[in-house]
Structure formats: structure tokens, C-alpha cells
Structure 1
């Protein structure tokens, strides 16, 4: 207990310090050459299995191939993680960008040489596949997942072309979006003084007590995005067209979202039900915002003001204090969770400070089983930043608990990927409420929780609703005006009469990275938050007996289907 706090405090005393990437690579240029040679030798050995692949292949030989594939994947994952984390520190860093490009090109080349195995496995007859699956152990669900895509696989030459072109195509465009949007600057007048801000700095002011400041912050955010709308919009349209051409045109998926559903191993009916239920119950949050308008004395609630604070002091937390608060909340639920979360801080696997060019937002990167995950934050010290720390450390402990699985099965499937993160936030919120004695502060905390529930349930579902329409519009030759008009219409439907939505919010979708990098990802947030509400109710009912079952759920990682894991 004391050790975790002491180390968290030491780390936090230097908030500008970036994370320690030496647990991945010591010398990137040198290590890249060494690991490339190592991978070359391993991939050459793997290619030796090509002539041994047949329906009657011995189970031992099949497992040998899988173990070698896992070793190769671990090394490539380590290189890929270093490249992305270095790039995230400063998207303007030319050396980091060059290293990332070199790693991605190398990864595509090695992946192409190994493609034959997955394609053979997908085409193997069911009886032979069943025999091999019976002895596959922890690899079984990974192998099952590959076979889910057998009807959508292409020939080996076609798959190779797609892999190579994605480096300079889709992945390059997503990188361009990151470089452009994370390099934007904004000007806001505060206390009579014009300030030049990063996006992370600007977004602090959308929760400012002064309504004029909140409105000005949003206006400035979308003024800047509108100025770059032509370029960002073309990037998006190209990404959507690429998704359509590959997944619908070549692979013959039924719809753009069905690709993601198959990846997630979730029935399309379940996703449709999720999105429909969220839309049908939009009135719940509309009613909430009407109540909030009265509480915050806002004459007419507007999209500018949905995150307005409620009679709260502007509390600021050092990173040390935030870390201690999160670890205490985790420890009250499970000392094991606190121990694992503390290790992320102890090993300096957190990048804390806001910097120009740094990737916006926050994420957790679980690289390989057994290696402590990395967490990126843009920590400014407000209450939301403490909650974000709890969220990202939840992701980290999820990966750490699943470390006994292979690299193919330790990552949680997307529908469960947000479970530990949202549960961590819930633990923090309850701890805050339990220790607080001031009624007004408690009301403020509850309002923040409801604000977050809106942002992570209804808002995310409507992003996916917009994506479905956007893919249809672009496929039919629609324009930026069509996309922005559709987004604004969806937004106004989402808020109904309870919240006025000014016209400049038509540009909001341009600022949402998931729409560009991971189409249809966002329903995982809706799913995860609703699931956590159900799980947390079980915890409140069953107490300690629930804790062990919950930890077992996290420890399963992605070794079984989401449905099978939740049935347990």
C-alpha cells in the first residue's frame, strides 16, 4: 500500500516527464536492425511450414507453427508499440514518424510472408479443423475467429496487395489525420487576455463556470475545424470509400457495420438492438438536461452548456493526489487491482503532461502478455482527469490480469474491452461519494456522473448511427454538406426539444478520431457502460463473492467469445 503511493508520488513530482519506453526498446535504430534480422530468420522458418500444411497434419506440428507465429507476433507487436508510443509523444517529431513508417512497412512485409497459414486454416474442412482445434488449447478461440472470416477471405496475392497498400493508404491517411488535428492551435480570450491553446487546453473551458467562456471555447474549436474541413472531410471520404471497396466490393460483407460486428463476434441483431434501445430512450437524457438547466440556472439548455459545472469549487489535483485517490478506490474493491494499477505508475509507463503536438485524449496500450501496459494522458488536474486515470488504469489491469493467455487471446474482444475501464471509473465515483460530506459537492459529483453517462452511452451510440448514414451518403456520391447536415440532424434528434443545438456543431464529427481510425468502434462504449451498470448492481448485491467472478472475467481476456464469458 505505502509502496504504491510513494512511487506514484515520485513519478508525479515531475509531471512533464514522459514515459519510459526502454522496456520496449533501448536504442530504436539499433534494435530495429537487430530485431529485423531476428524476425527474418523466424519468418523464414515459418515459411518452412507451407509444404507441411495438409488436412492430416499432426497436431504437434500444427502447434509448433502456432508457437512460432506467436513468437514472431510478440516481437512485431513490441516494435509497433514503440513506434506508436514515440509518435504519440509528439506527432510533429520527424524521427518518430520515420521510425513508425519503417516499422509499418516491415510489419506488412513479414505479415505477407506468413499469410499462407491463415488462408490455409480458413479453407480447411470442418472435420480436420475440429481435430486440430481439440488440441489447440489457448489458441482455440483465435483459430475459431480466423474461420469466422473464411467466406470473406481473398486469394493470397490479393491479400498481399491489400496489406502492402494499407501502409501507404488507409494507415497513412489515419496518420495524416492525427498529425493535422493534433497540430492545430486555438485562440481564446480569458480574463481579457488572448491565449493560444492546444485542443486539450481549450477543452478545459467547455466546463468553465462562465457560460460565455463555454460558448466561446466551442465556437473556437469548430471555427478551426471548419477552416480545415475540406482536407479532413476528404480524408474521411477516402477512408470510407476504401472501407467500402475492400469489405463490400472485394470481401462481400453485407454492410459496412457488419465487418465490425464479425470482428467483435457479436450478432448483428444484438448491435441493432443496442442502437435502437439507445435511440428510443434518448428522452431519459433529454429529461436529465432539462433538470440540469434548472439546477444550473440556465434559462434554455444549449449544446454549449451540457457540461456546465454545478456549484462546484474548481478543485485541482496533483498527479500524485490523483494516483493515490484512484489506487485507494481500486484497493477497496480488490488489493490485486490496486497492486497491478500501481505497477503501471511504478514502472513509469504513464505519459502525463499536455504538450504541443502530443496526441490528444487518452489511451492504454497493452502490448504483449507479461509487459506492463502503457497509458497516455493529457493530465491537467481537474476531476475529469482523475476519472480518466481510473478509466485507463482499468484497461491496464484488464490486460495484466489476462497475461497468462497467448498474444492472440489476451486482448479482450471489443464488446468487453471497456468493461474494466468503466468499472474503474465507477469505483472511483463511489469512493468519492462515500468520503464526501458536503451535500452540494455530492450533488455536483452526481451531475458529473450523469454527464459522463450521457457522453459514454447515448453520444457514442449516435456516433455509430451517424457513421452508418455517412457510409451510405458517401457511397451514393454525397458531399460534405450532406454529411454535416446529417450529423446536425442526428444531433438535434438526440437532444430533442430539451437542448438547442447551434449550427456550428455540424463540424463536431470531424474532431472524433474513432470515426477515422476505427469505424463503428464507438458502440463498444455504449455496450461497456450499460454492461458495467448491470455488473455493478451485482457487486452491490453480492459483495465479496462478486469480486472473484469479476476478476475471473477480466483474466479471461479474449480467450472466449463475449457471450460465453458473460454467461459465466
Structure 2
């Protein structure tokens, strides 16, 4: 399971999740019953209320929303079960067929519910204000306001229903093609056939020959399927352009910003701040790292290489659990207790295996159940940080769950808060227990690289998406043209410390990144979250008294408050350009320390 750079006990079983808390099996009577009941309830709700919502008083509309929420939660449970089974093995055709079947059935059922949000958006402001006076409806104000924020972009009922029903044969189908292509691919590395996850992992191996071989194997593999990846990218970009045009979104990123409940100008300020900081962050650090490696510039496959003195020999799963939970508990016993539930119960799928989704995620499922975490744990310190990250998502989702299905969901810009904060807590705990200056330097360098990957790399990927979608509006792009956009943005971000020429093999590495396919313009949320957490952590260090309580309240708010309301108790405002500079100064300060070491 692990290579030489991170030896862990291969006999120690890594946890595998048990999805029985959702459904015991794909053919379980409870699953069939939920499908049938959701279909019946959705049709009944539509028959009783379609065309009537604007005429309801606040109490009656509140009761309708309660029914609507219950049906959506039932559909969410069904979809979550199918998605998690699929993530566990995307290569199994029966699992893929089940996932597709559930997706189609839930899409059909939810089509009968579409009238609810469409008609809510047709209520005039005066009538809506009167309806909100009823406590039964006022509870849902944040969700209703989010729904109504899309009013200027809503199309006719017939077009909205068509777009909804065609999703499974449109963007969703292209997503599936991408996922299954990646899952089935094998990459030739040193005479072995590796999955994408296995090959990408070797890019952080201690052996430079393995890193180079992995990079070459990945590049060759991506190039062999470049026609497919280019078709998927072009089609999805055009699909988005068509819908954005119909909905009158001014920019490709605007729909994502609206869904994230963050203003365009706030995102623009973040992007500008990070790009302006490239020279003092990534450019400076990678030149420093190249100096440590005794070269003028690093090959691209050495960007995340362990430092020459790094003796990281791996962290067992029990030790990783202990490290993360101790860090969480030291900050807040309540946070630690919530995190412990994931280890005491089968809520984590940790081991890498063929067919499994690459990377890591936390899936919230539905409030009546609990989140699940997926990882590909290989025993490195970076994997411990990934565990801390995904566990942060998990405890956030547990805390927000009591808000209910419609109000628990957090905008992406705030969804990364708990995950990145969990990483910071774990890093600081690791740093605190180390007295060896060399080990501390290695830990600090590793943290800087993680932060650069979270902030600089994600903004560079955001810039790639922006240029790709802008250019795609002029016509279909060739793989070489896509690769040039990718390389241009990466060269700008990484600077002279990384060797990247116009014909670099790295020009095909845009092909494997799932965020571009599944969630266009998702990636800036990582940078938003990292800068936000840096600012939050600075407040915690300055004024720790009472901070954990306010922090848990922030997480428990779920989607009931926007970023300005949530950050106000900490004296922070993301609309202030200085906010981003404060967050970025934390990264710069760490690099200052490394330069002095």
C-alpha cells in the first residue's frame, strides 16, 4: 500500500465505511419504499399547490416548505447512497448503473418539485414581506433569500423544467464519462501499471527517479486520452456558456459567486491580492526550495518533493487518528468529541484501491444521517493533514445538521473554513511538539507548500478556468490551446523557481482535475477559505478567550448567515481588501522564517 518514502504497517487494516446507516443494500425494501414514497409525495404536493404559492399566507407557505424539505431530504438520502457506492468503486458497471438509475429516478421526482422555487421567485416583494411575518416561514428566510437571489436569472417554467430533466443526459453524462475514464486508466511507471491516484502519489516520493518516472507516466497517460478530455472540457464549457447566456450572467464566474453568496467584487479582490502576492509567496519559496536542492530551478515533478533532509517514514493510521484528535480536543473538547465519532463508527473509507475515487472528500449526506469521509491514506504527513482537513468538513457538517436539510448547507466560500482550520490546528500541534530545528524547518516548509497549493495554485487554476471559458466563447479549443492556457497560468503563478517551458509535458496536467468538470469555478473557494482561516487563526492567537465558542457557533450556523454576519463577531470583513492581505501575510511570514533558518 505504501512506498519506501512512507512505510506504514500494511497489516493494519484501514477503515472502510458502512453505508447501512443510509440503506443496507441497493435492493433493500427501505430504498424502494423511499423512491416510491418520494414520487407519491412530490406529485401530491404539485397537485395541491402548483399555481397557488403567491396566494398562500405565511403560515400555509411555511407548512408547504416543511413538506418540500422532507421530500428533498428523502431524495438526498437516496442520491447520497448511490454517490458514495459509486465513489467506492467507479469501475464496477453494476454500481455505475445503479448510480445512474438513482440519478434518473430522483431527477424525475424532483421535476415535480421544481414549481416550488420557481413560484417563490414570482412572488412580489410586498407579498413576500407579509408572508415572512409568519414564524413558520421566517425560519426559512436565509434559504428563501438565497432562492430569490436567482430571480433575475430565472427562465420560463417550461425551459427550467427542460433544463432540469435534461441534466442527466447533458452535463451529468459528461461528468460520468470523465470519472469512469479516469478510474479505468492505468499509467506505466517503472514497469508497473498504476491508477491515477497511485501515480500522483509518487510525485511526493523521496526518490527523485520515481518522481520523474511518475510524471512521465502520467503525462503519457493523459496524452493518450487527450482527445476525450478535450471533448469533455469543450462540451461542458460550451454547455455552461449557453446556459449563462440564457440566464444573463455577465461573466462565467458569476453563477458560482451567486451560489456561494459572495459578491463578484469580493472574489475579484481575492484573486487580485493573490496574483499580486505571487512574487513574495510562490516565486520566493520555490527559488528557496531550488537552492535547498542545489539547482537553479526545480523540475515540475519536484515541486512537492520532500526536502533532502526529510526523514518522514510514515504515520500509521492509529497515530494519525491520535494526532488529529488531540489537536482538535486541545482547541475544543467538543470539537474533539465530534471528530472521535468518525473513528468510533464506520464513517471513513481510508484505504486506496483500484476503481476508488481519487483524492479525498467529506460527503454531508442528509441531516437525519451523518457525513462520510473518503481518503486514499498512504501514511505520509501530508495524508495526516488531509485527514485533518476532511475531518474538519465532517464536524462542520455535524454541527450544521440541526439547521435542517434546506439550511444546513454552507456556501463553498465558507465550507472550507472548518477543514483548513483543522489543518492549522494539527500543524501547530505537530510544530509545538518538535524541538529539533531541522524537523521544525521541514514541517514549516511542508505547511508552506500546502498553503501555496491551497492559495496560489487554486487561484492559478481559477485563472485557467477564467481564460478557458472566455476563450471557448470564440470557438472550440484544441488540446494544444487548452494546454497553453494551462501552462501560461501555471508559469505566472509558480515563477522562475520551477522549470516550465512552452512544450513542457506538464501542459497536459489540466486533464485530470475533477473540479473543472464537476464544479466550474469551485477552486477559488479553497483560497478564500485559507485566507479566511489565516485571519481567524490570527484573531485566536491574539484573543483566545471565548474564541472556540464563537468558532463553533460559526460552524453551527450552516447556511443561515452570509460571510459578513459570520465574520463580524471576530472583527473581520472579507469585503475589506486588507482582509486578504492579512491572510496572505501569514504565508509570507512562514517563508520569512524559512529564509532565516
State the partner residue of 1:296: 293
SS in structure 1 of the partner of residue 373 of structure 2: strand
Q: Is 1:272–2:271 an aligned residue pair?
A: no
Partners of 2:322 and 2:205 in 1: CA distance: 26
The 5-angstrom pairing of residues 380-529 of structure 1 reads 380-477=378-475, 478-502=477-501, 503-529=504-530
Q: Is 1:199–2:214 an aligned residue pair?
A: no
Partners of 1:545 and 1:183 in 2: CA distance: 50
Tell me how far 1:27 sits from its aligned partner: 2.6
Tell me how far 1:109 sits from its aligned partner: 1.1
Partners of 2:293 and 2:533 in 1: CA distance: 28
Does the 8 A contact of 1:138 with 1:405 survive in 2? no
1:145-179, CA deviations, whole angstroms, 9 ceiling, x for partnerless residues? 11111111112211111111111111111011011
TM-score (structure 1 length as normaliser): 0.94
1:73-109, CA deviations, whole angstroms, 9 ceiling, x for partnerless residues? 1110000000000001110112211111111111111
- The 1:74/1:495 distance shift into structure 2, 3 A limit, reads same
State the partner residue of 1:332: 330
Partners of 2:450 and 2:424 in 1: CA distance: 11
- The 1:534/1:67 distance shift into structure 2, 3 A limit, reads same
Partners of 1:290 and 1:430 in 2: CA distance: 25
Partners of 1:499 and 1:134 in 2: CA distance: 59
SS in structure 2 of the partner of residue 123 of structure 1: coil
Q: Is 1:122–2:118 an aligned residue pair?
A: no
Partners of 2:568 and 2:106 in 1: CA distance: 37
State the partner residue of 1:309: 306
State the partner residue of 1:323: 321
Does the 8 A contact of 2:50 with 2:115 survive in 1? no
Does the 8 A contact of 1:302 with 1:500 survive in 2? yes
SS in structure 2 of the partner of residue 22 of structure 1: helix
State the partner residue of 1:3: none
453-462 or 90-99, which deviates more: 90-99
Tell me how far 1:197 sits from its aligned partner: 1.7
Partners of 1:164 and 1:261 in 2: CA distance: 24
Unaligned 5+ segments in structure 2 are 1-9, 570-597
Tell me how far 1:510 sits from its aligned partner: 0.8
State the partner residue of 2:58: 59
1:120-164, CA deviations, whole angstroms, 9 ceiling, x for partnerless residues? 110110011112233323311110011111111112211111111
State the partner residue of 2:68: 69
SS in structure 1 of the partner of residue 401 of structure 2: coil
SS in structure 2 of the partner of residue 404 of structure 1: helix
Partners of 2:452 and 2:340 in 1: CA distance: 30
Q: Give the root-mean-square deviation of aligned CA atoms.
A: 1.6
- The 1:232/1:52 distance shift into structure 2, 3 A limit, reads closer
Partners of 2:343 and 2:433 in 1: CA distance: 24
Tell me how far 1:321 sits from its aligned partner: 1.4
Partners of 1:399 and 1:37 in 2: CA distance: 28
- The 1:300/1:44 distance shift into structure 2, 3 A limit, reads closer
Q: Is 1:262–2:254 an aligned residue pair?
A: no
Does the 8 A contact of 1:13 with 1:320 survive in 2? no
- The 1:208/1:61 distance shift into structure 2, 3 A limit, reads same
1:460-510, CA deviations, whole angstroms, 9 ceiling, x for partnerless residues? 001111111111222211322211111111111112323211411111111
The 5-angstrom pairing of residues 25-104 of structure 1 reads 25-30=23-28, 31-50=30-49, 53-104=52-103
1:248-297, CA deviations, whole angstroms, 9 ceiling, x for partnerless residues? 2x211111111111111111111111111111111121111111222233
Does the 8 A contact of 1:473 with 1:482 survive in 2? no
Does the 8 A contact of 2:15 with 2:348 survive in 1? no
Does the 8 A contact of 2:14 with 2:317 survive in 1? no
Tell me how far 1:51 sits from its aligned partner: 5.2
1:444-464, CA deviations, whole angstroms, 9 ceiling, x for partnerless residues? 100000100110001000111
Partners of 1:425 and 1:134 in 2: CA distance: 42
1:490-534, CA deviations, whole angstroms, 9 ceiling, x for partnerless residues? 111112323211411111111111001100000000000000000
Does the 8 A contact of 1:373 with 1:396 survive in 2? yes
State the partner residue of 1:233: 230
SS in structure 2 of the partner of residue 408 of structure 1: coil
Partners of 2:154 and 2:480 in 1: CA distance: 36
57-66 or 443-452, which deviates more: 57-66
Does the 8 A contact of 1:350 with 1:376 survive in 2? yes
Q: Is 1:559–2:563 an aligned residue pair?
A: no
Partners of 1:459 and 1:303 in 2: CA distance: 13
TM-score (structure 2 length as normaliser): 0.90
1:377-436, CA deviations, whole angstroms, 9 ceiling, x for partnerless residues? 001111111110000000000011112202111111111010000000000000001111
Partners of 1:451 and 1:134 in 2: CA distance: 50
State the partner residue of 2:376: 378
Tell me how far 1:210 sits from its aligned partner: 2.9
